[in-house]
Chains A and B, each alone.
Chain A
Amino acid sequence: MAKPLIGTATARVDGTAKVTGRADYAADRTEPGLAHGHLVLSTAGRGTLRSMDVTAAEAAEGVLAVYSPFNPLKLHRIKTTPDVCFVGQFWLPLQDQEIRHYGQIIGLVVAETFEQARHAASLIRAEYDLLPVRADFAGRIAHAVPPPVAINHEDPQVDLLAEEFGTVDEALAAGPVQVRATYTQPPEAPLALEPHACLASWSEGVLTLRVGSQSPVGGALAAAETLGIGLDQVRVLSPYVGGAFGGKLYIWPHPLLTAAAARELGRPVRTVLTQEQVFTTVGHRSAVSQTLALGAERDGTLVAVKHDAVSSLSLSGVIYETAAHTTSRYTYKSPSLHVGQRIVPLDSPPTTWVRAPGEAPGAFALESAMDELATELALDPVELRMRNYATVFPGRGVRWSGKHLDECYRVGAERFGWQPRTAPRPQPAEDSDQVWLTGTGMAGATYPGNLLPTTLANVRLRADGTATVATATSDPGTGMRTVLAMVCADDLGIPVERVEALVGDSALPLNYGAFASMGTSSSAGAVRSATTALKQRLLDLAAGDARSPFHGLAAEALAYRDGRVVGGGHSLTFAELLAATGLSELDSPGASAPGAERLRFAVHSFGAHFCELRVNRWTGEVRLDRWTSVIDGGTIINPRTARAQIVGGILFGIGQALLEGIRVEPDTGRFANGNLADYLVPVHADMPDFDIHFLDHPDTDFTPLGARGIGELGVVGTAAAIANAVHDATGRRVRDLPITVDKLL
């Protein structure tokens, strides 16, 4: 039996394309007769577009068309909601004169060259009738309202109270020890390094749209709905996606306008956004403010958890951060529990999913509050968490399909060399010449295990001994191609080099894509279903085809092993069998879908982070030195790409903790730092040394393969671990992210 591939560190199957520059992203393709689009964005935050002077632009060299609300490209109204239609927002640009947020699309210039289009766009003058802009999140928290729809099938306010209490506040008051604090963070940008780009070309009424997307199928749905064409008249191609992080789940309006322009001009059109345009034309993460109160006995046992979150919600969209429902709702055992969510509607660019939506801010608040409680109780933070360990999902009475968070804490503490602490670290004397203050911190991490709706895959055996696996998901750097090839190769018992994984094409078997850490468990399940059926088809062929050496034997007497059909004294590779029977290929579809597991179990991935950092006593600079994470993610299919996912997630969380935040001008809604120089993200020098360890507990109650998602788990808890370590180092508790030097001086 060949060594199983699953669980073996395997190099990415698309690696060579990426290190040679041959991987083609949306902006890399050209077409004969290509014209270039360039967006024009509003410089007002709310009101009405009174006029646009496009005379100079239309007269400029090379200009083919200037589209605006006064010369619109007609798009069909969205009949559903921004998430269901995969556009990401309610309204479509150029269809009316309303200004809904700063930096919205008010024009599209198409010219012969990129330079000409960009220049002509700069010649356009817009005049506005302004209205007051509602963009000040902090100032409007007092006006927050409950969201109109359920969160994870629950009310925006959930109270699970011990029967002796009428309110969570009564329950809190009964605890002899209490902590209460408010935690805030600014909006964050997903900020993939590849700016959103698209190339639209029409041929005989069929649109081919190249666009970097987490969901080619979603992009096709959006294009069909807004361009008034059938789903069979659009094909979305995303062979390579230059990072996504939630920002490329929805297609956003610019590809739809570009496709409409290409249809009207009868030429292929490519529109590449600048990073500055990306900030306001695609979505970002809500600003979040959370108030958390914990009540506990003196031994650390929680008596009540109260977590109220407020998030900004763009009036253009429906997505916002649900920080309490995604964390405090289930993380700890507590006889009384309250989670609440309110929203602050703003005239902002769309708020949307960004890596670990809800959990990222939620865990910052909850895991900081647990650290504050540990300090208050003079109890080690790991011990405090163990004293409130949940084995049953609160209020549902179901256990987890697999939960080994206790092992994450224990193994993590061992690997890190965690020193249990019960008292604050002594600070240096005033006249000490010590420059760096060292601190350590820890936090837990959780992320739900979900499955996509019906997911299809096709596996094909070829007479040349190779196989292909195809499904319409995408690989935005997660390693999806590699994982699919590995599962397929493992099931077929052939080397991974002989499997080609096809993704990034809406015409492939249905798959809603790579998001919410569902991609691997869903897609791999569909592949396994396909290979299982395909092996049976092959055995049936072997037994049933007159040209087969196995002909006459019962299919049940045959077996498929390591790429060969064996039985009755014969042994043929599938390639030999296909050749013998005159077939060039044999394929089978497969499918996966969520089942009753969600009713029987709670499903989450878990992890524990431990970090050590230094804070410069005089400048407030924070330097991360080392990091240990222990991850309980079920079966790890490819430890190599899994490690990259966790490390990348932690770096995302380091950005949240120390660097990132969109600065919104309250009077205009302008993103003052909406570019890659002023919106800081972690660079190489910001990275600590990583020790990443995966527990090996396949979650077969969740899926047969036992794999849960890990793409977002690394983000969760990271900011809290850092804030807790900063507190340990300095004695200062920073509850407003990012933890910049001014907050430590």
Chain B
Amino acid sequence: MSRLKRLMSWLTTTDHKRIGLLYFYTAFVFFLVGGLEALFIRAQLAQPDGHVVSAETFNQLFTMHGTTMVFLALMPLTASFFNYIVPLQIGARDVAFPRLNAFSYWVFVLGALLMNASWFTGPLFHAGRLNVAPDAGWFGYANLTSRQYSPGPNIDFWLLGLQILGVSSLAAGFNFIVTILNLRAPGMKMMRLPVFSWMTLVTSFLIITAFPVITVALVLLMFDRFFGTHFYLTSAGGDPVLWQHLFWIFGHPEVYILILPAMGIVSEVLPTFARKPLFGYTVVVYSGVLIGFMGWGVWSHHMFSVGLGPIADSVFSATTMLIAVPTGVKIFNWLATLWGGQLRFTTAMLFAIGFIALFTIGGLSGVTHASPPADLQQTDTYYVVAHIHYVLFGGTIFGLFAGMYYWWPKMTGRLLSETLGKWHFALVFVGMNLAFFPMHLIGLLGMPRRIYTYSPDLGVSTLNLVSTIGAFLIGVGVLVFIWNVWRTRTRGQTAGNDPWGGATLEWTISSPPPVHNFDVIPTVASRLPRWTKTQLKAIPEGAKLAEIHVPGGSIWPLVTALGLPVLALAPLSHRLPFAFVGATIILLGIFRWAFEPFEA
């Protein structure tokens, strides 16, 4: 294949496995970008009165660190596993809407690039500086984001980027709901579905219900910034608290959108390396569904300091304590899975066990926020930063690393080095606790978050230095992982179909799987098809091999996706023609997409 042809085959691909890989590599690059931003923040805070970056740049760094990690790294990394693994686990040849899937990916990339362009495009806006990145924090509270207090393009980049990313997530949400419900192999009843696929389903429901809310919040902000409305302006009768409500109505389900997939991964990894079925499968599944549902009723616990009144405070405090129950149930189920198992401490297993420990710590500090009087002491201090990182780093990222070591052989055909993997785990585990545990103390001692420097008199200098050392240790650990991935390309051990002795369908086929996944769609008779007596084989005896048609690619998802950032250039540059060009591209893309011959 010529180079151009190969490039075109990636630009037009509709294969869920290739899209999964694209998601992985792109999201991992943004994970590194977000990590670099974090290292700048920690370098600045390593000692009191730091001078590494200016106050303005510091604001941009912490805003983009949060936004990047949540929307450009963690969500798409989970999406990479949704894409690659879910169709394999349910015994399908692809997702329900392959072109829509490609569309999701391209919209994600383009939205991410648009938002990050703000680091270099200051001169285009005559800003007098290179970087005009968003600077109002990842939850962009109203008034900080108004034209009056933020006249530059910073917030425009943020809100337009998030709108575009929302389109990507929504499209993927519809796709995976239908895929999981409608494309299961014969015999794959809902209660035989692997937990990771179940959690993908719950996450998809959360995405399609939560994202419209932030879409509206951002639309109102757009109107305030571009058309002079007063949705969030108190003097005109508006209320900045409305932003907080709409943001957190989205934001709290979003927390579960980030953690449920990691819980799903851990629920696959632990049984495999304990050689035991997951303890209480049904309870784990229903707990996941319950968490997704209850996640809708707790949003105001992010807002206790607003002063919502005793009734609202009590209700949201109670629901917040309640939601810890199904979460705790899951933790006990994982522990019971380990109990009495033949444990194999592979790297994937270490990350999964690390997940349980660290997520429990994060969960417990979360419960301390549930009490409004305690929360008032913690709000906007480093204590909250410690909590969110135990949950999202110790939780989501550890879960994702477990998934990477577990499924890497399936995705590439080669095993990652276990020796390097254990170094990776050790460095990240120690680094993470050094970086984030002191933040509990720093916060309770009174250091507010998001302040670019602090005085030596505050008495938190040593703790901050320790935290910075921890952050750089994490950085070294991630470098070890990258080295591991790099050397595995050529020197990794060949994996075979099933290097771990896994129980689910993805291990019945070759690694990496052929383009059509299954020569014969398997018929499933149990929850753990590879572990039951009549072990499921890729090709059952006597099965007739029929010809399989694989659909070609399509360029129109990419074209349609391209229209969105072009459309966004109109408000960004205040030039209307971009809107017409963008809308035309989208319309053209949709019509060509709808009428091209394509067998899904």
Same complex:
no
Residues of A whose CB lies within 8 Å of any CB of B are none
Chain B residues with a Cβ under 8 A of chain A: none
